[in-house]
Structure 1
Amino acid sequence: MRRDTFLKSLAALAAAGALPLQALAASNMRMMIPANPGGGWDSTGRALGKALQEAGVASSVTFDNKGGAAGAIGLAQFVNASKGDPNALMVMGAVMLGGIITGKPPVDLSQATPIARLTSEYNVFVLPASSPLKTMADVVAQMKKDPGSVKWGGGSRGSTEHIAAAMIAQQVGVDPSKINYVPFRGGGEATAAILGGNVTVGGSGYSEFAQYIESGKMKAIAVTSGARLEGIAVPTLKEQGIDVEIGNWRGVYGAPGISATERKALTDSVLKALKAKSWAEALEKNNWTPAVMAGAEFEAFVDREFAALRATMVKAGMV
Structure 2
Amino acid sequence: MHRRRFLALALGVMVAGGCGDMGGPGAGWARRLTIVAPVVRGRRWDQAAHALAAILTGERMAGAVEVSGAGAQGMAALTAFAAAVGGPFAREGRVFLAGVPMLAGGETADADSVLAASTPLARLAGDWSVLAVSPNSLLRTFEDFVAALRRDPARLVVGGGAGGGSDHVLYGMIGKCLGVDVRLMEYAGYPTESEAVEALHEGRVAALLGSAGSLLPKIATGRLMPLAVSSGERIDGIDAPTLMEREVRLEYADWCGVLGPRAMSPDDRDGAVALCDRIDASPRWQAVCAANGWHRAYLSGDDFRRWLVTETRRTRAVLNELGLLSIPDTNCWGGCVRRH
Contact 1:195 1:218 in 2 (8 A): no
Query: 1:78 is matched with which residue?
Result: 81
Q: Which residue of 1 aligns with 2:229?
A: 223
Instruction: For residue 173 of structure 1, report the CA deviation from its aligned partner.
Output: 4.5
Query: Contact conserved, 1:89 with 1:254, CA < 8 A, in 2?
Result: yes
Alignment partner of 2:103: what SS?
helix
One-letter identity of the residue aligned with 2:214: E
1:62 aligns with 2:66: yes
Q: Give the 5 Å matches for 1:41-56.
A: 41-56=45-60
Q: Is 1:202 paired with 2:208?
A: yes
Q: TM (normalized to structure 2)? A: 0.73
Moved more, 133-142 or 83-92: 133-142
Q: Which letter does structure 2 place at the counterpart of 1:35?
A: V
Task: State the superposition RMSD in angstroms.
Answer: 3.2
CA contact (8 A) 1:34 1:91 kept: yes
Partner residue, 2:260: 254
Task: State the distance in 2 between where 1:77 and 1:184 align.
Answer: 27
Which secondary structure state, in structure 2, belongs to the residue aligned with residue 249 of structure 1?
A: strand
Question: How far 1:315 sits from its partner (Å)?
Answer: 6.3
* Residue 143 to residue 304, structure 1, CA distance change in 2 (3 Å): closer
Letter in 1 for 2:219: I
Contact kept in structure 2, 1:170 and 1:176, CA below 8 Å: yes
Q: Distance in 2 between matches of 1:63 and 1:54?
A: 15
Q: 1:293 to 1:180 in 2, by over 3 A?
A: same
Please give the secondary structure, in 1, of the residue aligned with 2:254. Answer: strand
Instruction: Name 2:276's counterpart in structure 1.
Output: 270
- Shift of the alpha carbon at 1:145? 4.4
2:218 to 212, 215, 221: 212
Q: Give the equivalent residue in structure 1 for 2:193.
A: 190
TM normalised by structure 1 equals: 0.77
Q: CA deviation at 1:107?
A: 4.1
One-letter identity of the residue aligned with 1:84: G
Q: Could you report, residue by residue, the CA deviation over 1:145-180 in whole angstroms, capped at 9, with x for unpaired residues?
A: 443333322234443322221233334443210111
- Aligned residue for 2:111? 106
Determine helix, strand or coil for the equivalent of 1:274: helix
Equivalent of residue 299 in structure 1, options 292, 302, 305? 305
* SS at structure 1 position matched to 2:154: helix
Task: Please give the secondary structure, in 2, of the residue aligned with 1:301.
Answer: helix
Letter in 2 for 1:238: M
Deviation at 1:235, TM superposition (A): 1.2
Alignment of 1:3-14 (within 5 A): none
Q: 1:272 offset after TM fit, Å?
A: 2.0
Say whether the 8 Å CA contact 1:176–1:318 is kept in structure 2.
no
Equivalent residue of 1:216, what SS? coil
CA distance in structure 2 between the partners assigned to 1:285 and 1:249 by the alignment: 17
Structure that is richer in helix per residue? 1
- The Cα of 1:181 is off from its aligned counterpart by 1.6
Deviation string, structure 1 residues 23-77 (Cα, Å, up to 9, x no partner): x5133x22222322354422332332222122212344332346997x4343234
CA distance in 1, matches of 2:310, 2:160: 24
Equivalent residue of 2:214, what SS?
A: helix
| Helix, strand or coil at the partner of 1:252 | strand
Give the secondary structure class of the aligned counterpart of 1:148: coil
| Matched-pair contact (CA < 8 Å) for 1:129–1:218 | yes
Deviation at 1:308, TM superposition (A): 3.9
| Letter aligned with residue 57 of structure 1 | M
Give the Cα–Cα distance (whole angstroms) in 2 for the partners of residues 280 and 310 of structure 1. 32
- Residue 261 of structure 1 and its aligned partner are, at CA, apart by 2.4
Of residues 95, 107, 110, the one that matches 1:89 is 95
Q: Which has the higher contact order (CA 8 A, sep 6+)?
A: 2
How far has the Cα of 1:94 moved from its partner? 3.9
Q: CA deviation at 1:311?
A: 4.5
Structure 2 alignment gaps of length 5 or more:
1-17, 326-340
Match of 1:53, as an amino acid?
Answer: T
Q: Corresponding residue for 1:34?
A: 38
Q: Using the alignment, how far apart are the partners of 1:37 and 1:128 within structure 2?
A: 28
Deviations 1:259-280 (A, max 9, x none): 2222233333332233333211
SS in structure 2 of the partner of residue 97 of structure 1: helix
SS at match of 1:31: strand
Q: Which runs of 5+ in 1 are unaligned?
A: 1-10
